[in-house]
Structure 1
Amino acid sequence: MTKPVVLCDADNTLWDTDSVFATAQRTLLDVLETRLDRLSDLSDRIEYVRRYDQALASRHHLHLRYPPVMLVIALAEGLTGRAPDEAATLVIAGHRSAHISLSEAQKLAADFLGLLSTLPELLPTVKDGLKLAREEGIPLYVVTEGRIDKQKQIITHHKLTHYIEAIFEITKTQSQFERLRQRFHPAQTVMVGDQPDRDIEPAKRAGCETVLVPSRFLPSWNRVGGAREASYKARDFGDAIRWVAQHVERGHDAP
Structure 2
Amino acid sequence: MSHELTVVLVDADNTLWDTDAVFREAQLLVLARIEVAMGRTCATADRLAFIRSYDQALAQNHHLHLRYPAQLLVRSVEAGLAGIAPEVAARDIVAGRTLTSGPLVPADVEAIVSDYMQALTCTPRLLSGVDEGIRAAKDAGLRLFVMTEGRIKKQKHILELHGLLGSFEGVWEMTKERSQFDRIVGRFAGSRVVVIGDQPDRDIVPAKAAGCLTVLVPSRFEPSWQTASDRSVVDHVATDFLDAVRWCIDTDFTKASVVS
Q: TM-score, normalised by structure 2?
A: 0.94
Residue 51 (structure 1) shift: 0.2
- State the AA in 2 paired with 1:3: L
- Confirm or deny that 1:101 pairs with 2:109: no
Provide the aligned length of Structure 1 versus Structure 2.
253
CA contact (8 A) 1:15 1:121 kept: yes
- State the AA in 2 paired with 1:76: E
- Runs of 4+ that moved beyond 3 A: 248-253
Cα distance in 1 between the residues matched to 2:146 and 2:65: 21
Q: Per the alignment, in what secondary structure is the counterpart of residue 225 of structure 2?
A: helix
Q: Per the alignment, in what secondary structure is the counterpart of residue 196 of structure 2?
A: strand
Structure 1: give runs of 5+ residues left out of the alignment.
none
- Confirm or deny that 1:188 pairs with 2:188: no
Q: Please provide the CA RMSD for this pair.
A: 1.4
Cα distance in 1 between the residues matched to 2:221 and 2:175: 21
Which residue of the other structure, out of 128, 131, 146, is the alignment partner of 1:124?
128
CA contact (8 A) 2:204 2:215 kept: yes
What residue number does 1:231 align with? 235
Q: Per the alignment, in what secondary structure is the counterpart of residue 72 of structure 1?
A: helix
Which residue of the other structure, out of 39, 42, 45, is the alignment partner of 1:43?
45
Q: Per the alignment, in what secondary structure is the counterpart of residue 222 of structure 1?
A: coil
Summarize the alignment of residues 35-184 of structure 1 with structure 2, pairs less than 5 Å apart: 35-96=37-98, 97-99=100-102, 100-184=104-188
Which digits, 9 at most, give the CA deviation of each residue in 1:59-92, with x for residues without a partner?
1000000001000000001001101011111110
Q: TM-score, normalised by structure 1?
A: 0.95
Q: Per the alignment, in what secondary structure is the counterpart of residue 203 of structure 1?
A: helix
Structure 2: give runs of 5+ residues left out of the alignment.
none
CA contact (8 A) 2:196 2:217 kept: yes
Cα distance in 2 between the residues matched to 1:103 and 1:91: 18
Cα distance in 1 between the residues matched to 2:207 and 2:113: 34
What residue number does 2:244 align with? 240
Which digits, 9 at most, give the CA deviation of each residue in 1:91-132, with x for residues without a partner?
101123412222321221121111111110000000111000
Cα distance in 1 between the residues matched to 2:176 and 2:199: 11
- State the AA in 2 paired with 1:143: M
